[in-house]
């Protein structure tokens, strides 16, 4: 691969790193990530048709706006923004093309410079407008909204998919109208402007530039402010005829002027909750803008510019006939034309090589800076994580100390409870003994009568037993004696009776 191709590849990579565009598939209902640029994340209904492609335009890693582009007319049907700021007027302009419109199989998923796309995109210009389509014509590439894709105020990067043919005077007045409306009417009446949704579009006519790019019949702008309780919706139309000033219309009236009568904003941008006072203030500013535009037009001299032939004749030296001068000029021009073209080609190649070198160096520098930023970011993240971990531990230490102190206090209280219980038990023993000793006399005195009674009953029983024993013994003895005497007496009686 030669140096020229390396430089071209470097320039493509450098520019592609900043700008990215994605064609949304036909099967997708919306614009993918770019649905955020529509009110209620709902694109206008009724404008999509055959030959229209949806583009989600991104720049520097951020979605910028959405465009519905007509490959038949080679102008945008509409573009959607969120309160964009116009590009600086004095910035250098760079124009970009979308590769996948002309070459669906292209692996370039980002918009690139037209000069770089010539050698890398097949069928370039078959479905989209190019800068060459505007050369040697009375029309310029006019942005529907002059919104830059770059944060660099010295370079304004535009896409040809958001441009339509405009005359220089119309383009100047259209940009002036947009700046005045945004700065003085639309943004001030919508809070900070974060809830302001902008749609800009072009309605094609029957005329074309070089039979390729359709000239708009008029361009239009629709604004929807979605501030809760204070929203509004307004429309504006500006015809390509230089004599016309910008016109204010209601959104419903604007929809009737557009093809297919679409619905630009869902639910007509909250029609039931719109603030009429803010709309009146916007209309007052619009009247001022219209008056200012009429004054600017009235100051323009109606006379025609001086003729080219008069200017040429004024520059001729005295005494030289005009026909001879014309012939000599043509001869010199015929001879010098190849050299001029050669020098122009050399200059173009030199500028292209220098631009490629600059883009390549810029890409390398950016990659180095990106690497350094990544390292610094990782280092910073590690340091922050380390300090966060230390901070978390330091924050937890007081809580842990408090928990330890609470556990120590609970342990001390338990020990005190155990000591008090032991003391109570130790003190409980003598008290019981003393209570028993103190109660002993009472129990003793109460038991004396019972004991005496028992002793008396025992003595009585003993004495009774003794008497019973004595009387029993005596009775037995008497019975024995009586029995003996009885037997003895019987015998005496018997003996006596025999002797008689």
pLDDT at 154 over 60: no
Q: Tell me the helix, strand and coil percentages in the chain, rounded to 5.
A: 55, 20, 25
Cα–Cα distance for residue pair 278/445, rounded to 1 Å:
113
CB 98 within 8 A of CB 111: yes
pLDDT band at 337 (very low <50, low <70, confident <90, very high): low
Residue-level pLDDT at 28: 72
Q: Is the pLDDT of residue 69 over 90?
A: yes
Cα dihedral sign, 249-252-257-263: positive
Interval 444-465: pLDDT, tens:
777 778 878 888 888 888 888 8
pTM attached to this predicted model: 0.57
pLDDT of residue 262: 92
The beta-strand segments (E) located in 12-119 are 19-24, 52-59, 62-70, 75-82, 92-97, 112-113
Q: How confident is the model at residue 495 (pLDDT cuts 50, 70, 90)?
A: low
DSSP string, 180-223: HHIIIIITTTSTTTTTEEEEEEEEEEEEEETTTEEEEEEEEEEE
Nearest to 236 by CA among 173, 178, 311: 178
Residue 213 has pLDDT above 80, yes or no: yes
Picking from 19-28, 37-46, 78-87, 215-224, which range would have the lowest pLDDT averaged per residue?
19-28
Tokens of 291: 């008056």
Asked if 165 and 142 touch (Cβ cutoff 8 Å), the reply is yes
Contact, 67 vs 38, CB < 8 A?
no
User: Which tens digits make up the pLDDT trace of 20-65?
Assistant: 456 776 667 788 889 999 999 999 998 888 889 999 887 666 788 8
Beta strands across the sheet bearing 112-113 = 112-113, 92-97, 155-159
């Amino acid at each position: 691969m030669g140096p020229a191709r390396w430089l071209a590849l470097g320039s493509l990579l450098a520019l592609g790193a900043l700008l990215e565009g994605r064609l949304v598939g036909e099967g997708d209902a919306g614009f993918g990530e770019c649905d955020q640029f529509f009110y209620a994340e709902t694109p206008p209904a009724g404008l999509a048709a055959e030959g229209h492609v949806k583009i989600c335009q991104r720049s520097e890693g951020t979605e910028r706006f959405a465009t519905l582009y007509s490959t038949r007319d080679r102008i945008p049907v509409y573009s959607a923004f969120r309160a964009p700021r116009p590009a600086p007027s004095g910035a250098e302009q760079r124009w970009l093309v979308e590769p996948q419109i002309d070459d669906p199989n292209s692996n370039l998923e980002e918009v690139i410079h037209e000069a770089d796309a010539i050698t890398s995109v097949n069928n370039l210009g078959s479905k989209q407008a190019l800068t060459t389509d505007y050369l040697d014509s009375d029309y310029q590439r006019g942005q529907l909204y002059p919104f830059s894709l770059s944060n660099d105020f010295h370079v304004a990067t535009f896409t040809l998919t958001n441009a339509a043919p405009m005359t220089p005077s119309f383009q100047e007045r259209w940009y002036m109208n947009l700046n005045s409306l945004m700065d003085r009417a639309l943004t001030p009446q919508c809070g900070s402007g974060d809830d302001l949704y902008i749609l800009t579009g072009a309605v094609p006519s029957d005329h074309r530039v070089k039979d390729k790019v359709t000239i708009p019949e008029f361009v239009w702008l629709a604004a929807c402010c979605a501030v809760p309780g204070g929203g509004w919706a307004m429309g504006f139309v500006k015809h390509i005829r230089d004599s016309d000033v910008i016109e204010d219309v209601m959104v419903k009236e604007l929809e009737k002027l557009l093809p297919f009568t679409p619905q630009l904003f869902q639910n007509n941008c909250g029609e039931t909750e719109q603030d009429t006072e803010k709309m009146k203030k916007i209309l007052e500013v619009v009247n001022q803008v219209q008056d200012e535009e009429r004054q600017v037009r009235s100051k323009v001299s109606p006379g025609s510019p001086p003729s080219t032939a008069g200017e040429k004749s004024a520059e001729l030296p005295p005494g030289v006939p005009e026909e001879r001068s014309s012939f000599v000029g043509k001869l010199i021009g015929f001879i010098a034309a190849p050299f001029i073209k050669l020098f122009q080609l050399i200059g173009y190649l030199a500028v292209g090589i220098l631009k490629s070198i600059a883009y390549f160096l810029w890409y390398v520098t950016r990659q180095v800076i990106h690497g350094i930023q990544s390292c610094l970011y990782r280092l910073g993240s590690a340091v922050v994580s380390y300090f966060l971990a230390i901070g978390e531990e330091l924050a937890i230490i007081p809580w842990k100390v408090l928990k330890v102190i609470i556990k120590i206090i609970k342990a001390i209280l338990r020990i005190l409870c155990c000591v008090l219980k032991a003391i109570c038990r130790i003190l409980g023993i003598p008290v019981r003994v003393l209570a028993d000793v103190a109660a002993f006399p009472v129990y003793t005195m109460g038991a004396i009568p019972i004991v005496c009674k028992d002793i008396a009953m025992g003595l009585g029983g003993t004495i009774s037993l003794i008497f019973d024993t004595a009387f029993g013994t005596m009775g037995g003895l008497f019975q024995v004696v009586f029995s003996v005497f009885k037997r003895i007496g019987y015998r005496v009686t018997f003996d006596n009776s025999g002797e008689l």
